[in-house]
């Protein structure tokens, strides 16, 4: 029965993602992307997805980490310049993983759509990982479904599942590492976990920092202390030392890549010379030295207060506005700490590391974006605590109604983001541009009948209005969530 | 002992060995803390000395000049301590300030701050130890204080903050110890440190009042009114002596016990000017006062330590294991917070935060006053949260590391680009280049241009300023007999030199404007009048 239910939810979630995936039919060329698909509501509306997709294209078509000039043009302003060649200013891992998806879709003229499906694929895996971790922490199956659905549809995770962003992949690495570490320990699992830590560097150079609490948890569980009347013994299984090979392998591979491409063992893409644009003669316009990125300046401690307020309370990026369901996680923290102390410390520690890092981030807004995109991994961890809260308060009608209400709100807002645009300016820029700075902008786009949904634009445009399309999806999500939530007590 | 066998790596420690190691650690860790603090202090001083930031604050240069005037100048002596600032920091410079290098490098003042840095760090350690906090909590508390870049910067300068932090923390520490032990010697020690703090800044006066209230409350509850009254008088005899002497000093030197508060160079007079210019927005605005000081606190301590400190405060106040008397007496740690808000509210103090008070900083360093308190609370929290402690320490290390890579010290910004700095290098540079090797005195107002005096590199005895008695009186009534050069802000009556000489015939006829700089003008006596000048300090010793 449980397997059947899991299959049902996976199919349901996949279906929702198929309906909301951003894209257009065809294998877009660089000039099509540059001329037609850079505008609001189109799949390449923002530079993060353009940049990563450009490298995927280059790898698939030219087998090169360096971009042809026509491809390079679509990447600005995230374009790097090295030894007269163009490359991406962000880590290459996401683009490399996107190649099989690209190649899979290309023969069917769906290269872009299938590549954009990769984050959705990982989002589904993240849902399964949330179920797995909840199971490891002895949280009920249905509560974990509630947590998982909350993460996928009632947070900004939704909008970043259907576009070509790295957040689901980062979340996958974090959740799978946690799941491996919470399982029965053996050297293979520890080795894979270590490998995933190293792999995270391929996705975003700051990612390994997020794993520090999980690494500490791993070390803590491997090293044992025993005391008797005469001696204190600290010991560990020597074979666990082999697990370090995992991280060596992943980082060694990165070093090899960096050495081959940049002649340096650890070149951070973000610190390369940056190209702002191209001039009329197609010559690159290099950013001035003062605007070039400096690794040490990625994090700005003076701005922590501002970053905190932005990510929590601000109208444009505060999770209070975009994913208030996350607050419910607070109700589960105490109980989970009581029941599973060490694991809870590792999970909360991870959340704190991610949060503190992004409060220091020079641009906590995440550029033009829908909601707090950097907090997507935190939302996944919060889902585990939401599940715990569901178990704890399942008999309380006020709790169920509150959770349901927050889910409905979150799903309405985030579905709106998923099917319209991520091109939402932060308030500081929006005011000057005379634009809106939160999901009210998505609402305006939606009211104009503009959607980024590949499925709607390709197959349903003539059959039903965008309003109906939106309502069908929303009602389906809410119905499934509501059914799961309110049937909990009966099935407990 | 290390054993490897059966695929297991074992480290075996005899429990006796661990006990001995623990005992040794307990015995020697204080020395290790002191050694580390001293090493960090020296290294940081050299860092800021090398990059020239150690003297970036104009006030730092003024403090050094005040100390110097006591031992060198046209009228040296203790009276040069003046009334603008409380005297202890300058008195403590005297053993070093006579040396030209120690004066101009700022070391004569910085060494006081450095010793205070080491002392405050150690007191935080002792405070936490006496609260029953383990090694990790104690060391984390010390780390939060000692690694704070604002603290590290200020301890490398001749500013007064670190000395104030040290004397106040010592006073509170001994006060808390007295609450715990009721030993009279602790109360005497507390009174001694609080007395010293009252001679550093007026924050100490507020602590004196607060401590008085705490003492009365503590003794009254235990022994009744008579004992409370007696203990308060006993405490005040020593603790209030600094404040009493300050009134006496002002009466003896300036003829008015309230000269420091209401005189022409007092903070009150400066605040009045700011008020008239509409720059004292916090006056009578409690919310803005709280907001401004909160941001100063936030920028000086950092969001993470501040947040952890607040959580630590909650743990501290709800803990059953901390005695009620310790909790109440520890409230003295909060006095800088209350004092600074009240000072802003009543208009005794001014503080600008960039973004809240226009695009500048001013006196933002007042926010460091709570750093020892925050450090103690973070150390306490670390002790209480057990398994989360490694994560919290990791986060603290992480944030500290990036505060260094960003050079994120708001006090440095305050000193370099805020209203606390004035670009005097042009005027001082001119004097150094054109007056150093020539004979003659420079007439200048120290109240307005102490930083120029310092930065010029000329000996103090080359300057005729307000503190030079008969020289000043003579030179301002007939500058042509005394001043080869005059440095002043023309047309600005707040510059005492201009105010006094503007109508003299000598100034009008005998001087030519040589240089005009944004911050001050330089006048030189015309060559034909050089013969009428005094080049030597002929007025001799003055009273």
DSSP-derived secondary structure for B281-333: TTTT-HHHHHHHHHHHHHHHH-HHHHHHHHHHHHHHHH-SSS-HHHHHHHGGG
Q: Do A302 and B408 touch (CB under 8 A)?
A: yes
* Of residues B7, B14, B302, nearest to A231 (C-beta): B14
Rounded CA separation A161/A164 (Å) = 8
Residue A490 — very low, low, confident or very high, per pLDDT cuts 50/70/90?
low
CA-based nearest residue in chain A for residue B395: A353
Q: So what's the pLDDT on residue B400?
A: 94
CA-based nearest residue in chain A for residue B391: A349
Q: So what's the pLDDT on residue A280?
A: 80
Rounded CA separation B415/B404 (Å) = 17
Residue A149 — very low, low, confident or very high, per pLDDT cuts 50/70/90?
very high
Tell me whether strands A284-286 and B483-488 are parallel, antiparallel or unpaired: unpaired
Write phi, then psi, for A290 (nearest 5 degrees): -70, -25
Residue A489 — very low, low, confident or very high, per pLDDT cuts 50/70/90?
low
Whole-angstrom CA distances from B313 to B135, B369, B388 are 19, 17, 17
Q: Do A300 and B11 touch (CB under 8 A)?
A: no
Rounded CA separation B98/B94 (Å) = 7
Q: Do B398 and A348 touch (CB under 8 A)?
A: no
* Of residues A231, A341, A356, nearest to B395 (C-beta): A356
**CB proximity A213 to B under 8 Å:** yes
CA-based nearest residue in chain A for residue B17: A231
Q: Listing from the earlier edge strand, what are the strands of the sheet with B483-488?
A: B463-464, B441-444, B483-488, B521-525, B511-516
DSSP type of residue B466: G
pLDDT, mean of residues B536-540 = 81
Residue A274 — very low, low, confident or very high, per pLDDT cuts 50/70/90?
confident
Whole-angstrom CA distances from A471 to A405, A467, A477 are 16, 6, 10
Rounded CA separation B464/A34 (Å) = 72
**Count of other CB atoms within 10 angstroms of residue A323:** 28
Q: Does pLDDT of A250 surpass 60?
A: yes
Q: Return the closest-CA partner of residue A420 out of A108, A143, A159.
A: A159
**CB proximity B399 to A under 8 Å:** yes
Structure-derived torsion over alpha carbons of residues B65, B67, B71, B77, reported in degrees to the nearest 10: 110
- Mind listing the pLDDT tens digit for each residue in B64-120? 999 999 999 999 999 899 888 999 999 999 999 999 999 999 999 999 999 999 999
Interface of B with A in 287-346 (CB under 8 A): 298-299, 302-304
- Mind listing the pLDDT tens digit for each residue in A413-447? 999 999 999 999 999 999 999 999 999 999 999 99
Contacts of B10 in chain A (CB under 8 A): 233-235
Residue A492 — very low, low, confident or very high, per pLDDT cuts 50/70/90?
very low
CB B196 within 8 A of CB B166: no
Q: Do B394 and A304 touch (CB under 8 A)?
A: no
CA–CA min distance A345, chain B (Å)? 6
CA-based nearest residue in chain A for residue B387: A345
- Mind listing the pLDDT tens digit for each residue in A194-231? 999 999 999 998 899 999 999 999 998 999 999 888 88
Q: Return the closest-CA partner of residue B372 out of B70, B78, B108, B151.
A: B151
CA-based nearest residue in chain A for residue B399: A301
**Count of other CB atoms within 10 angstroms of residue B200:** 26
* Beta bridge pairs of residue A86: A67, A81
**CB proximity A235 to B under 8 Å:** yes
Rounded CA separation B68/B91 (Å) = 10
Q: Does pLDDT of A456 surpass 50?
A: yes
Q: Do A232 and B395 touch (CB under 8 A)?
A: no
Q: So what's the pLDDT on residue A290?
A: 53
Residue positions counted in chain A: 492
Q: So what's the pLDDT on residue A12?
A: 97
* Of residues A227, A232, A238, nearest to B7 (C-beta): A238
**CB proximity A338 to B under 8 Å:** no
**CB proximity B14 to A under 8 Å:** yes
**CB proximity A212 to B under 8 Å:** yes
CA-based nearest residue in chain B for residue A234: B11
* Of residues B18, B387, B395, nearest to A353 (C-beta): B395
pLDDT, mean of residues A95-119 = 96
Q: Does pLDDT of A270 surpass 80?
A: no
* Of residues A233, A238, A300, nearest to B4 (C-beta): A238
Q: Does pLDDT of A491 surpass 60?
A: no
Average pLDDT taken over every residue of chain A: 92
CA–CA min distance B8, chain A (Å)? 4
Domain boundaries, chain B: 22-416, 425-532
Q: So what's the pLDDT on residue A293?
A: 56
Q: So what's the pLDDT on residue A80?
A: 86
Rounded CA separation B464/B497 (Å) = 10
DSSP letter for each residue of A308-362: HHHHHT-TTT-HHHH-GGGGGHHHHHHHHHHHSHHHHHHHHHHHHHHHHHHHHBS
Write phi, then psi, for A205 (nearest 5 degrees): -65, -25
Q: Return the closest-CA partner of residue A13 out of A166, A169, A121.
A: A121
Which segments of B410-453 are extended strands (E)? Answer: 441-444
Greater model confidence, A284 or B198: B198
**CB proximity B12 to A under 8 Å:** yes
Q: Listing from the earlier edge strand, what are the strands of the sheet with A273-278?
A: A85-88, A79-82, A273-278, A284-286
Mutation for A interface: B150, B303, B407, most A CBs within 10 A: B303
Whole-angstrom CA distances from A86 to A71, A83, A94, A162, A295 are 9, 8, 18, 27, 20
Q: Do A296 and B399 touch (CB under 8 A)?
A: no
Helix axes B371-384, B286-301, angle to 10 degrees: 70
Greater model confidence, A176 or B58: A176
Kind and range of the H or E run holding B488: strand B483-488
- Mind listing the pLDDT tens digit for each residue in B482-535? 999 999 999 988 899 999 999 999 999 999 999 998 889 999 999 999 988 988
Structure-derived torsion over alpha carbons of residues B117, B122, B123, B125, reported in degrees to the nearest 10: 130
Q: Return the closest-CA partner of residue A250 out of A104, A91, A133, A357.
A: A91
Q: Return the closest-CA partner of residue B301 out of B148, B197, B158, B75.
A: B148
CA–CA min distance B359, chain A (Å)? 16
CB A30 within 8 A of CB A99: no
Rounded CA separation B53/B154 (Å) = 10
**CB proximity A237 to B under 8 Å:** yes
Contacts of B12 in chain A (CB under 8 A): 231-233
**CB proximity B18 to A under 8 Å:** yes
Mutation for B interface: A216, A236, A302, A355, most B CBs within 10 A: A302
CA-based nearest residue in chain B for residue A296: B405
Q: Do B408 and A300 touch (CB under 8 A)?
A: yes
Return the percentage of chain B with pLDDT > 70, whole number: 98
Residue B426 — very low, low, confident or very high, per pLDDT cuts 50/70/90?
confident
- Distance from the Cα of residue A222 to its chain's centroid: 30
- Mind listing the pLDDT tens digit for each residue in A320-360? 999 999 999 999 999 999 999 999 999 999 999 999 999 99
Tell me whether strands A284-286 and B2-5 are parallel, antiparallel or unpaired: unpaired
* Beta bridge pairs of residue B203: none
Kind and range of the H or E run holding B37: helix B15-50
* Beta bridge pairs of residue A361: A299
Mutation for A interface: B4, B6, B10, most A CBs within 10 A: B10
Q: Return the closest-CA partner of residue B90 out of B101, B100, B99, B78.
A: B78
- Mind listing the pLDDT tens digit for each residue in B353-371? 988 888 888 999 999 999 9
CB B463 within 8 A of CB B73: yes
Contacts of B13 in chain A (CB under 8 A): 231-234
CA–CA min distance B371, chain A (Å)? 16
Residue B425 — very low, low, confident or very high, per pLDDT cuts 50/70/90?
confident
Contacts of B18 in chain A (CB under 8 A): 232
Residue A246 has which token pair? Answer: 């995992």
* Of residues B9, B391, B406, nearest to A345 (C-beta): B391
Residue B266 — very low, low, confident or very high, per pLDDT cuts 50/70/90?
confident
* Of residues B302, B388, B398, nearest to A345 (C-beta): B388
**Count of other CB atoms within 10 angstroms of residue B34:** 15
Interface of B with A in 123-182 (CB under 8 A): none
- Mind listing the pLDDT tens digit for each residue in B325-346? 999 999 999 999 999 999 999 9
Q: Do A299 and B406 touch (CB under 8 A)?
A: yes
Rounded CA separation B179/B384 (Å) = 23
Q: So what's the pLDDT on residue B356?
A: 87
Return the number of CB contacts < 8 Å for A and B.
95
- Distance from the Cα of residue B36 to its chain's centroid: 22
CB B81 within 8 A of CB B87: yes
**CB proximity B528 to A under 8 Å:** no
CA atoms in the 13 A half-sphere facing the CB of B20: 5
Return the percentage of chain A with pLDDT > 90, whole number: 75
- The burial of B368, by beta-carbon neighbours within 10 Å (0-12 exposed, 13-18 middle, 19 or more buried), is given as buried
Return the percentage of chain B with pLDDT > 90, whole number: 75
Select, from the ranges A119-128, A181-190, B47-56, B345-354, the one with the highest average predicted confidence (pLDDT): A119-128
């Amino acid at each position: 029965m449980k397997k059947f239910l899991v299959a049902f939810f996976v199919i349901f979630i996949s279906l929702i993602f198929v309906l909301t995936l951003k894209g257009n039919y065809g294998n877009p060329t660089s000039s099509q992307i540059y001329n037609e698909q850079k505008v609001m509501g189109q799949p390449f509306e923002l530079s993060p997805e353009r940049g990563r997709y450009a490298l995927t294209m280059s790898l698939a078509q030219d087998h090169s980490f360096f971009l042809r000039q026509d491809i390079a043009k679509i990447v600005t302003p995230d374009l790097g310049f090295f030894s007269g060649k163009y490359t991406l200013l962000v880590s290459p891992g996401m683009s490399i993983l996107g190649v099989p998806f690209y190649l899979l879709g290309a023969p069917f003229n769906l290269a872009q759509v299938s590549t954009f499906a990769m984050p959705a694929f990982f989002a589904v895996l993240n849902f399964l990982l949330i179920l797995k971790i909840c199971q490891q922490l002895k949280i009920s199956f249905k509560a974990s479904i509630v947590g998982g659905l909350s993460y996928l549809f009632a947070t900004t995770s939704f909008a970043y599942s259907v576009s070509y962003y790295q957040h689901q992949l980062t979340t996958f690495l974090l959740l799978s590492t946690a799941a491996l570490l919470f399982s029965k320990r053996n050297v293979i699992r520890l080795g894979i976990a270590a490998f995933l830590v190293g792999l995270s560097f391929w996705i975003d150079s700051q990612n390994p920092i997020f794993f520090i609490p999980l690494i500490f948890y791993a070390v803590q569980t491997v090293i044992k202390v025993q005391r008797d009347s005469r001696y204190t013994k600290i010991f560990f299984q020597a074979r666990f030392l082999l697990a370090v090979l995992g991280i060596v392998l992943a980082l060694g591979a990165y070093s090899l890549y960096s050495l081959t491409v940049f002649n340096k063992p650890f070149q951070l893409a973000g610190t390369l010379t940056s190209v702002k644009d191209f001039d009329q003669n197609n010559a690159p316009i290099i950013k001035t030295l003062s605007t070039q990125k400096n690794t040490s300046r990625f994090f700005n401690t003076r701005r922590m207060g501002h970053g905190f307020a932005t990510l929590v309370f601000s109208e444009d990026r505060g999770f209070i506005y975009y994913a208030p369901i996350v607050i419910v996680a607070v109700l589960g923290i105490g109980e989970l700490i009581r029941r599973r102390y060490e694991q809870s410390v590792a999970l909360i520690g991870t959340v704190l590391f991610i949060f503190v890092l992004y409060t220091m981030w020079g641009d906590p807004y995440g550029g033009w974006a829908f909601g707090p995109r950097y907090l997507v991994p935190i939302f996944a961890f919060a889902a585990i605590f939401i599940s715990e809260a569901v178990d704890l308060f399942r008999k309380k009608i006020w709790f169920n109604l509150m959770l349901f209400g927050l889910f409905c709100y979150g799903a309405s807002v985030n579905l709106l983001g998923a099917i319209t645009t991520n091109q939402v300016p932060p308030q500081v820029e929006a005011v000057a541009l005379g634009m809106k700075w939160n999901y009210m902008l998505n609402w305006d786009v939606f009211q104009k009948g503009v959607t980024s949904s590949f499925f709607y634009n390709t197959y349903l445009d003539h059959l039903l209005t965008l309003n109906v399309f939106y309502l069908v999806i929303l009602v389906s999500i809410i119905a499934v969530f509501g059914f799961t939530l309110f049937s909990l007590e009966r099935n407990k | 002992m290390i054993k490897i066998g059966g695929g297991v790596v074992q480290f075996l420690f005899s429990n006796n060995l661990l006990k001995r190691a623990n005992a040794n650690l307990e015995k020697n860790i204080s020395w290790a803390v002191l050694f580390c603090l001293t090493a960090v202090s020296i290294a940081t001083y050299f860092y800021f000395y090398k990059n020239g930031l150690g003297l970036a604050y104009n006030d730092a240069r003024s403090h050094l000049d005040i100390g110097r005037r006591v031992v060198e100048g046209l009228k040296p002596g203790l009276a040069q301590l003046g009334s603008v600032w409380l005297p202890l920091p300058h008195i403590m410079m005297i053993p070093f300030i006579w040396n030209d290098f120690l004066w101009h490098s700022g070391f004569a003042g910085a060494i006081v701050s450095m010793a205070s840095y080491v002392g405050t760090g150690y007191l935080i350690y002792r405070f936490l130890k006496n609260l029953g906090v383990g090694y990790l909590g104690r060391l984390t508390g010390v780390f939060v204080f000692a690694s704070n870049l604002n603290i590290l910067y200020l301890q490398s300068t001749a500013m007064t903050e670190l000395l104030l932090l040290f004397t106040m923390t010592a006073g509170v520490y001994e006060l808390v110890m007295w609450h715990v032990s009721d030993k009279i010697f602790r109360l005497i020690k507390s009174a001694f440190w609080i007395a010293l703090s009252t001679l550093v800044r007026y924050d100490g006066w507020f602590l004196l009042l607060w401590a008085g209230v705490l003492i009365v409350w503590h003794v009254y509850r235990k022994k009744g009114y008579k004992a409370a009254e007696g203990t308060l008088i006993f405490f005040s005899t020593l603790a209030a002596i600094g404040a009493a002497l300050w009134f006496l000093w002002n009466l003896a030197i300036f003829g008015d016990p309230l000269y420091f508060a209401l005189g022409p160079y007092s903070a009150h007079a400066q605040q009045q000017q700011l008020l008239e210019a509409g720059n004292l927005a916090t006056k009578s605005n409690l919310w803005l006062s709280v907001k401004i000081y909160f941001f100063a606190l936030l920028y000086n301590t950092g969001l993470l330590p501040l947040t952890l400190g607040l959580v630590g405060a909650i743990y501290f106040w709800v803990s059953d294991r901390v005695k009620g008397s310790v909790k109440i007496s520890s409230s003295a740690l909060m006095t800088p917070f209350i004092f600074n808000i009240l000072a802003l509210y009543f208009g005794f103090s001014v503080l600008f935060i960039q973004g809240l008070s226009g695009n500048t900083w001013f006196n933002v360093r007042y926010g460091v006053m709570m750093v020892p308190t925050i450090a103690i609370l973070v150390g306490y929290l670390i002790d209480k949260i057990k398994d989360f402690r490694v994560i919290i320490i990791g986060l603290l290390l992480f944030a500290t590391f990036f505060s260094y890579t960003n050079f994120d010290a708001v006090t440095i910004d305050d000193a370099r680009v805020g209203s606390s700095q004035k670009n005097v290098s042009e005027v001082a540079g001119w004097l150094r280049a054109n007056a150093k090797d020539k004979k003659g005195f420079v007439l200048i107002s120290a109240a307005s241009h102490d930083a120029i005096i310092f930065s010029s590199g000329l000996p103090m005895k080359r300057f005729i300023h307000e503190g030079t008695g008969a020289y000043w009186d003579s030179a301002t009534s007939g500058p042509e007999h005394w001043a080869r050069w005059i440095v002043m802000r023309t047309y600005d009556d707040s510059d005492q030199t201009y105010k006094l000489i503007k109508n003299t015939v000598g100034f009008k006829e005998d001087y030519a404007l040589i240089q005009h700089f944004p911050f001050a003008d330089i006048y030189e006596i015309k060559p034909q009048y050089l013969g009428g000048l005094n080049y030597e300090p002929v007025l001799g010793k003055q009273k």
